[in-house]
Amino acid sequence: MTKSERSLLIAIVGLFFCGFNASAREDMIADWQIELFKSCQKTAAPSVGMTEAEVLVSCWGKPKMIAGVNPAGESQWNYRQGFLYLKDGKVTRVLTWRY
């Protein structure tokens, strides 16, 4: 998440604690989601062969959790979108959820 995206998110969250009406909040959230989508289009989704650093600046960003190492020697990075498996600092597998 970029600095500007983070600032926008903080502003939106702040609206929930102020007296702004629900429609203003919904409009700001919709605008933020559009900007986030555009940002994600500029930075690729993770793919096999990416380095850890490339994954962290991809549209998936920082993982919610990093699990231990499996028997194949891969560490599992858990995301809302799915899982990444990394070995020797590179992505070896990408598993995404199907909705």
pLDDT of the residue at 82: 92
Tokens 């096999």, located at residue: 48
Q: Where are the domains of the chain?
A: 3-42, 52-96
For residue 94, what are its two tokens? 């990408």
Digit-by-digit pLDDT tens for the chain (99 residues) are 667 666 666 666 665 555 556 677 777 777 777 776 666 666 678 999 999 999 998 888 899 999 989 999 999 999 988 999 999 999 999 998 875
pTM greater than 0.75 = no
- What are the strands, taking DSSP E only, across 24-81? 65-69, 75-78
Angle between helices 3-17 and 22-42 (to 10 degrees): 160
